[in-house]
Structure 1
Amino acid sequence: MEGPEKRRKKVSRSCVFCRRSHLICDEQRPCKRCIKRDIAHLCTDEPLSNSVTPVSITEPDEQLRPGDNEIKKNDHMEGLHMYNGSASQMNRAPSFLTQQPTFVSEHVGSEFSSLNAFLNMLDDPVLMNHGPATNSEISSHHSLPQQSMIGSPEPSLPVLLEDQNSAVENAPTPKEHFFLTAADPSTEMTPEDRLKSVINAKLEAGLLQPYNYAQGYSRLQNYIDKYMNQSSKQRILKPLSTIRPAFRAIARSLKDVDLVLVEEGFERLLLSYDRVFTSMSMPACLWRRTGEIYRGNKEFGSLVDCTVDDLRDGKLAIYELMSEESAVNFWEKYGSIAFDKGQKAVLTSCNLRTRDGRKKRSCCFSFTIRRDRYNIPICIVGNFIPIS
C-alpha cells in the first residue's frame, strides 16, 4: 500500500518540468530527474495559481541534453498557451499607437495619431504636450534602392562607370549626382524624361522621403489654440473628425515605400505648378492637406504682403493668411469633400490678411483638391480674385 501512496505524494508535488513531461517526481529539490538533465538550478515546485513564472519559459537551450529536445518543445508550447499572447503585448509599438489602429507604415500611424490627439486636445488642453512621432526607417525588404532608405547612414559611393575596377573616389556621391542632374542644362531629353531623371536622382540621394504630416497637425493645433476662440475650434473639430475614419480606412495598407511614391508625385505637381503659376496673372497658391503653403505666385504674394520665396516649403500656412472666420469656413468645406472622388472644386469667398495681420482683403476664393493614387488629398490649389 505504501507504493501507491508514495506515488500520489510525488505526483502532487511534482516540479515544473516533471509535471509538464508527465513523469514521476520525488520529494527532494532539486529532484533526481532535473539533476540528471543538468537543470537542477531550474527545478522548482509548480505554483498553485495559473500564473507562469519567468523560469518556466526561459529555460536555456544549452542546458538541455540532446535527448531532451521534445521535453523542451512541450515546455515551450505550454508556456506560450498559458501566456496566451500576453508576452507579445508587452513588446508592441510605442504607447501612442497602442490604442490606435495598427498601420503598416509608422509614418501613417504617426499622422493618424497626431490627428486623433489633435481632436482630443481641443477638448482636453492637458494633452497638448504630446509631440509628433519621429520618422522610422523604411524596411529593407522594400524594392527601393539602398540609398533611399530613411534614417540610413550616408550612402556609399555609387559605381557610375562601366568599368567596375575604376577608382570610386572620382565618382560623385548620390547627393552630388542629384545636384548635377538638377542643374544640367541639356536639352537632348524631353521635359518628361528630364523630370523623371531629376526625381530618380533625388530618390537615390535619400532626399525624397515620406512627409511628416504630424508636424503639420501640431502646427495647426498650436495656431488655433493661440488665436481662435472655442466656437471656432469646435467648428474645425467637426470636419476633421469626419476625415479621420476615411483616412484610417484607406491608410491601413499603405507602406513607407508607398508614401515615398506619393511624395514623388507631389514633387511632380510642384514642378508642374511652378510653370503654371508663373504664366497666370490670377493670385494662386498650393498647400498641403495640413495647410502648409509650398508654392505661390507673386500676385498672391502681393495680396498678403510677402515674397514668392516666403510661399515655399511650408514657411507659411494658408490659415495664417486668412481671417478666423474664413479659415474655419475653409476647413468646413474641405472636410466635407476631402475624400469624395466626385467633388474636386469649391467656390466660396474669404478674407485674406497680410502676414503681419494689419491689412485685410476680401476675395472670391476657389480651391481644388488634388488626390494621390490612393484617393488621399495630397494638396489643395487655391485661386483668389480680389473684390474691389
Structure 2
Amino acid sequence: MSGTEKRPKKNWRSCVFCRRSHLVCDEQRPCTRCIKRDIAHLCTDENLGNSMGPTTPAPAAEESTGDIGLPPGGAEQLTSAMTRTPSFLPQQPTFVSEHVGSEFSSLNEFLNMLEDPLLVNQSDRQEKSQDDGSKPYDGQETTPIIIDEDQQLKGDNNAPTPKEHFFLTAADPSTEMTPEDRLKLVINAKLEAGLLQPYNYAQGYSRLQNYMDRYMNQYSKQRILKPLSTIRPAFRAIARSLKDVDLVLVEEGFERMLLSYDRVFTSMSMPACLWRRTGEIYRANKEFASLVDCTVDDLRDGKLAIYELMTEESAVNFWEKYGSIAFDKGQKAVLTSCNLRTRDGRRRKPCCFSFTIRRDRYNIPICIVGNFIPIS
C-alpha cells in the first residue's frame, strides 16, 4: 500500500443515548447497552440530518457583477450590506438568556415611561382599551408552555419525548462527568421538558409600574426612577453572560431558601417577611400578618407586594436605600424606619425597619428579608 493511500474509516454509528454518554455503541438495534438499561424501545440512531437544514445554493449574483463593475466577491458584500440593520435604528443589548433579556427590556421600558409622562398617559389609554372587562392583575398569572408531544412523535415514533428525555437523563448512571456538570445536564433536560422555568421578573416591574401610575405622584416616581437607573448598568453587566440553566439553578436556590425561612419565621416573635427584588412577598410570619391585618396565606407566592403595604413616602425611601446597596458586596443590611399600613389602607403603623439583601452566586439580589418593630 502506498504512503498516499488512506485506510477506509469504519462508519461507526451510535444511538442517541450512547452518543450522549460518550460510550461505544454496537451496530445492532436495539444496542446491547440500551437493552441492559431497559430502554430498548427508545434506542434509535441519532439523526444528524434533521439538525441541519438543507443547504440552499447561493443566489447567482456574481453573474451580473460584470454589468455593474463589482470586484470578485462584491456581490456577497453588497448582499450583506443590504441586509444589515440600519445604524439609525435603536440597538437593544443581546442576552444569552431570554428571561434575562425580558427583565432588562421591561426595566428599560419602565424607566423610559417614567421619564416621559406622555408615554405613561398613552400607555394607560391603551391598557384601558385592551383590558375592559378583564380581571385585575394579581401577580400570579404566567404564560403557559404547551408541549405538543403528538406533533413531536410524528417525525419519529421511536424518538423520546422531552419528558422521557428528562427522565432518562436523570436516571443515566454515567459517572464520566463532575456532579456539578451532571446537575446542570439534568436541570437543562428538565427545562427543555417544560417542567422547570426561571422566574419572570418582567411581570414584577410591570406590576410596580401599574401601582405607581395609580397611587403615586410624579415626584415619587422620579425618586424611584433614580435608584433603578443606577441598578440597570450593574445588572446588565452581570446578566449578559447568564443562561436559562443558570437562572434555573438560582431559582432552585431560592426555593431552598424559602424552606429554611419557613422554619426561621415560625420561631421569631418579631414581625418579618421576605420578598423578591421586584417587591412581591413570598413568605411572612403571623406577627407581620397581624401587623398589616391579613392572613399568612395572603403573604405567600407574590399575592401582595411590600410597597403595597407601605405609605408612599416609606415605599420611596425603601427603593432609594435598596438601590444604593443592591450590587454592593460590602453592604447588605440597612436600618431605617417606615410606616406600614393595613391591607385596606385605613390604618397606619409606624415601625423601626431593617432589611437584609440576599444575593445569588452571581451577586444579583435574589430576595430581601425585612424585620419590623412597631413603635407605640
Q: TM-score range, shorter-chain basis? A: 0.5 to 0.7
Match of 1:167 in 2: none
Counterpart CA distance in 2 for 1:105 and 1:16 is 37
- Asked if 1:329 corresponds to 2:323, the answer is no
Match of 1:189 in 2: none
Task: State how many pairs are aligned.
Answer: 263
Higher mean C-alpha deviation, range 81-90 or range 249-258: 81-90
Match of 2:274 in 1: 286
- Which of 247, 253, 257 is the equivalent residue of 2:245? 257
Identify if the C-alpha distance between structure 1 residues 354 and 207 changes in structure 2 by more than 3 Å, giving closer, same or farther.
Answer: farther
- Asked if 1:379 corresponds to 2:375, the answer is no
Match of 1:275 in 2: 263
Counterpart CA distance in 2 for 1:306 and 1:372 is 30
- Asked if 1:81 corresponds to 2:69, the answer is no
Larger RCO, structures 1/2 (Cα 8 Å, 6+ apart): 2
Identify if the C-alpha distance between structure 1 residues 276 and 16 changes in structure 2 by more than 3 Å, giving closer, same or farther.
Answer: closer
Structure 2: gaps of 5 or more residues: 1-59, 127-143, 151-162, 168-182
Letter of the 1:153 counterpart: I
Counterpart CA distance in 2 for 1:99 and 1:385 is 47
Work out whether residues 271 and 285 of structure 2, in 8 Å CA contact, stay in contact via their aligned partners in 1.
Answer: yes
- Asked if 1:118 corresponds to 2:110, the answer is yes
Query: 1:358 Cα shift?
Result: 0.2
Counterpart CA distance in 2 for 1:87 and 1:261 is 38
Counterpart CA distance in 2 for 1:124 and 1:311 is 34
Query: 1:329 Cα shift?
Result: 0.3
Q: Which secondary structure does the structure 1 equivalent of 2:242 belong to?
A: coil
Counterpart CA distance in 1 for 2:306 and 2:249 is 25
Query: 1:85 Cα shift?
Result: 4.7
Work out whether residues 61 and 75 of structure 2, in 8 Å CA contact, stay in contact via their aligned partners in 1.
Answer: no
Counterpart CA distance in 2 for 1:101 and 1:231 is 29
- Asked if 1:300 corresponds to 2:288, the answer is yes
Q: TM-score, normalised by structure 1?
A: 0.61
Matches within 5 A, 1:1-388: 17-18=62-63, 20=65, 46=68, 77-87=73-83, 89=85, 99-128=91-120, 129=123, 151=145, 153=147, 206-388=194-376
Identify if the C-alpha distance between structure 1 residues 101 and 356 changes in structure 2 by more than 3 Å, giving closer, same or farther.
Answer: same
Counterpart CA distance in 1 for 2:149 and 2:283 is 30
Counterpart CA distance in 2 for 1:18 and 1:203 is 51
Structure 1: gaps of 5 or more residues: 1-14, 23-44, 51-73, 91-96, 132-149, 157-172, 178-195
Identify if the C-alpha distance between structure 1 residues 78 and 341 changes in structure 2 by more than 3 Å, giving closer, same or farther.
Answer: same
Identity across the alignment (%): 77
Letter of the 1:119 counterpart: L
Identify if the C-alpha distance between structure 1 residues 367 and 207 changes in structure 2 by more than 3 Å, giving closer, same or farther.
Answer: farther
Counterpart CA distance in 2 for 1:358 and 1:305 is 10
Q: TM-score, normalised by structure 2?
A: 0.63
Q: Which secondary structure does the structure 2 equivalent of 1:89 belong to?
A: coil
Identify if the C-alpha distance between structure 1 residues 274 and 81 changes in structure 2 by more than 3 Å, giving closer, same or farther.
Answer: same
Counterpart CA distance in 2 for 1:155 and 1:372 is 35
CA deviations on 1:246-267 (whole Å, 9 max, x unpaired) are 1011111011111111111111
CA deviations on 1:224-258 (whole Å, 9 max, x unpaired) are 11111111111101101100011011111011111
Query: 1:203 Cα shift?
Result: 5.2
Query: 1:290 Cα shift?
Result: 0.4
Query: 1:299 Cα shift?
Result: 0.5
Cα RMSD after superposing both structures: 3.2
Letter of the 1:112 counterpart: F
Letter of the 2:368 counterpart: I
Counterpart CA distance in 2 for 1:88 and 1:368 is 47
CA deviations on 1:288-345 (whole Å, 9 max, x unpaired) are 0000001111110001011010001110000000000100000000000000000010
Query: 1:80 Cα shift?
Result: 2.6
Work out whether residues 287 and 318 of structure 1, in 8 Å CA contact, stay in contact via their aligned partners in 2.
Answer: yes
Identify if the C-alpha distance between structure 1 residues 203 and 300 changes in structure 2 by more than 3 Å, giving closer, same or farther.
Answer: farther
Identify if the C-alpha distance between structure 1 residues 315 and 86 changes in structure 2 by more than 3 Å, giving closer, same or farther.
Answer: farther
Work out whether residues 326 and 350 of structure 1, in 8 Å CA contact, stay in contact via their aligned partners in 2.
Answer: yes
Letter of the 2:280 counterpart: E
Counterpart CA distance in 2 for 1:265 and 1:155 is 30
Query: 1:217 Cα shift?
Result: 0.4
Counterpart CA distance in 2 for 1:155 and 1:371 is 38
Work out whether residues 208 and 264 of structure 1, in 8 Å CA contact, stay in contact via their aligned partners in 2.
Answer: no
